[in-house]
């Protein structure tokens, strides 16, 4: 059974505290808790943080929490247990300089209270990059002790890995003999002098968002410098499922490895799986939820984040100034010099010189769409820094997001009906687009937005139309895993500089293959090797018609949706045209 929450993911490791462990519980009456919080607040003298009304957010026997001010500018937290207070204060001392954590404004040990920066905005879990942002924040916190201020580092020498490996194993372990293996793997990845910080209180509601989009994790009382960050990897799949953004264990590990590598933590796949296996043995964990499964995943990493470069940031700043928008913008995606941002109700696409894609062509495509009454219009600019294009943000989920409950195994009947209706509407919209003379050029589930007025397509940088000057570069396919077999056959038979015409029937196939992927979570092609392998090998399997079995991959039986997909992905292009009416 897959864990639904972080606590369930730690079955076997969690130890129940004995009755009466808390010797001095806090008052749970809100009025009494407010008095206690006001008394504690008076002990904090923090320049630049004004006093204000105390709004009790939680009044528990173990802790009391209040927002300070209207609007809130800080959070005050009191612990009943001195060990919990000391743990959270220690966590801030080790990692509080990380932008993935709120700022610690002050600590008062007498009242066992902490005054912390207030982060009001919840994370939007519907954003495509949300899982990567969470995993990236976790990796950043794990790496934070490596950049401790020089004056603090000596105080934490006892927690360094080279010291822990020489110390007796912790008493709470179930199998102490496995602990040296855990530390050896962690030491190899982090380095001898690293401090193995871990055990965040991971919950969807503990992920907050700063102005500008940075993800921040709150509530650090469980974070410890002796348990290692492996425990957080164990809980991440369950937390992502709880947030509605579940990913297979291997994808979680791949994203974590990539994020950790940006901070100098050099995990290999086999070493990380071995470390987790040893950690489960040492701690008594019941399951690793597929994290240590060595079988290759047929699912893809659709949300791999790439940090924007300094030139890209300079370019979007220019666009923001021209548009008169308040900043900073939120970075959504980026790859090879081409980035997408959000600011207010605008989506801004930027392309530095030499960037992937053709933003000039996309700008021309949107101009023609506007002239045809198919789009409200854009604003754009270009100069030495590169090009930018601003479009009104479409209000609605992508087709990929609509099908998320199917991939995560908890779709309701209403959601299933919505998926089927959205799929039919997407095919109808594509048929209408083709009738108007357009070839989109990059048909995939993430480029179909389901708005209240119906489906709308985005990303026209490969689009073609008789009234549109063709792109400067030849068409050589869009997203590989949804390319039609007849197109891959031409790609194999031609050179990289040869243009391969894209047909409406091939785009129908791409939408059908995208729906297969969105519904089942796996790509439609039964690849013989690694789905991330060489393009020519993937093209060969697609061209050969190597297909997975939809009756095996489907999350439930749905004759209408299956017929829609199988008709759209027929190996005969001439049989795909009636898809919208199936």
Separate counts of helices (H) and strands (E) for the chain: 19, 15
What's the pLDDT score for residue 16? 64
CA atoms within 13 A on the CB side of 494: 16
What's the pLDDT score for residue 531? 80
Residues pairing with 334 in the sheet: 339
Instruction: Judge contact between 143 and 92, C-beta under 8 A.
Output: no
Helix (H/G/I), strand (E/B), else coil: 541: helix
CA distance 540 to 554: 25
Instruction: Judge contact between 58 and 64, C-beta under 8 A.
Output: yes
CA distance 552 to 80: 53
**In the structure, what pLDDT confidence band is assigned to residue 213 with cuts at 50, 70 and 90?**
low
Does pTM top 0.75 for this prediction?
no
SS3 letters for 190-250? HCCCCCCCECCCCCHHHEEECCCCCEEECCCCCCECCCCCHHHHHHHHHHHHHCCCCCCHH
How far lies 234's CA from each of 3, 11, 223, in Å? Answer: 10, 10, 15
> Residues 511-551: pLDDT tens digits?
999 999 999 888 999 998 878 788 999 999 999 999 999 98
Instruction: Judge contact between 337 and 312, C-beta under 8 A.
Output: yes
> Residues 35-59: pLDDT tens digits?
999 999 999 987 766 678 899 999 9
> Residues 418-440: pLDDT tens digits?
999 999 999 999 999 999 999 99
On the question of pLDDT at 28 being above 80, the answer is yes
Instruction: Judge contact between 287 and 236, C-beta under 8 A.
Output: no
Phi, psi angles (nearest 5°) of residue 244: 80, 15
Count CB-CB contacts under 10 A for residue 578: 12
Alpha helices in 10-147 (DSSP H): 30-41, 82-95, 130-143
Instruction: Judge contact between 348 and 329, C-beta under 8 A.
Output: yes
Mean pLDDT for the chain overall: 89
CA distance 507 to 483: 8
What's the pLDDT score for residue 6? 73
């Amino acid at each position: 059974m897959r864990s639904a929450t972080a606590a369930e993911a730690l079955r076997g490791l969690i130890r129940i505290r004995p009755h009466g462990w808390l010797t001095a519980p806090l008052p749970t009456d809100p009025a009494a808790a407010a008095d206690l919080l006001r008394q504690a607040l008076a002990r904090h003298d923090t320049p630049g943080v004004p006093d204000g009304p105390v709004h009790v957010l939680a009044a528990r026997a173990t802790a009391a929490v209040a927002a300070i001010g209207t609007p809130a500018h800080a959070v005050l937290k009191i612990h009943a247990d001195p060990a919990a207070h000391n743990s959270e204060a220690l966590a801030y001392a080790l990692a509080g300089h990380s932008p993935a954590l709120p700022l610690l404004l002050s600590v008062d040990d007498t009242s066992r209270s902490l005054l912390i920066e207030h982060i009001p905005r919840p994370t939007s879990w519907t954003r495509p990059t949300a899982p990567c942002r969470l995993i990236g924040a976790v990796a950043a916190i794990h790496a934070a002790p490596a950049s401790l201020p020089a004056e603090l580092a000596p105080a934490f020498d006892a927690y360094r890995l080279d010291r822990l490996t020489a110390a007796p194993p912790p008493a709470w372990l179930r199998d102490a003999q496995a602990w040296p293996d855990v530390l050896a793997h962690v030491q190899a990845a982090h380095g001898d002098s690293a401090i193995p910080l871990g055990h965040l209180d991971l919950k969807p509601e503990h992920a907050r968002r700063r102005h500008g989009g940075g993800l921040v994790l709150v509530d650090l009382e469980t974070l410890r410098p002796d348990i290692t960050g492996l425990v957080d990897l164990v809980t991440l799949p369950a937390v992502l499922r709880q947030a509605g953004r579940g990913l297979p264990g291997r994808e979680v590990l791949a994203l974590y490895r990539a994020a950790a590598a940006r901070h100098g933590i050099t995990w290999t796949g086999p070493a990380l799986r071995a470390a987790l296996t040893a950690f489960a043995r040492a701690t008594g964990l019941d399951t690793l939820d597929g994290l240590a499964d060595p079988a290759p995943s047929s699912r893809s990493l659709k949300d791999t984040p790439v940090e924007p470069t300094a030139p890209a940031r300079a370019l979007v700043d220019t666009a923001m100034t021209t548009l008169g928008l308040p900043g900073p913008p939120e970075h959504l995606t980026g790859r090879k010099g081409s980035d997408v941002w959000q600011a207010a109700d605008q989506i801004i696409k930027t392309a530095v010189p030499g960037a992937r894609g053709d933003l000039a062509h996309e700008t021309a495509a949107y101009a023609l769409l506007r002239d045809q009454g198919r789009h409200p219009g854009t604003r754009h600019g270009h100069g030495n820094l590169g090009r930018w294009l601003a479009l009104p943000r479409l209000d609605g989920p992508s087709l990929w997001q609509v099908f998320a409950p199917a991939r995560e195994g908890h779709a309701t009947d209403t959601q299933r009906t919505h998926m089927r209706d959205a799929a039919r509407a997407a095919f109808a919209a594509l048929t209408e687009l083709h009738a108007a003379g357009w070839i989109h050029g990059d048909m995939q589930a993430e480029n179909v937005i389901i708005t209240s007025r119906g489906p709308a397509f985005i990303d026209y940088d490969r689009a073609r139309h008789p009234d549109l000057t063709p792109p400067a570069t030849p068409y050589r396919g869009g997203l590989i895993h949804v390319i039609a077999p007849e197109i891959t056959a031409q790609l194999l038979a031609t050179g990289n500089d040869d243009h391969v015409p894209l047909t409406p029937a091939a785009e129908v196939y791409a939408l059908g293959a995208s729906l297969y992927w969105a519904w089942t979570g796996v790509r439609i092609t039964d690849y013989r090797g690694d789905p991330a392998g060489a393009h020519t090998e993937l093209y060969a399997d697609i061209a050969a018609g190597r297909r997975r079995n939809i009756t095996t991959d489907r999350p439930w039986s749905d004759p209408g949706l299956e017929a829609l997909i199988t008709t759209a992905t027929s190996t005969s292009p001439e049989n795909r045209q009636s898809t919208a009416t199936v």
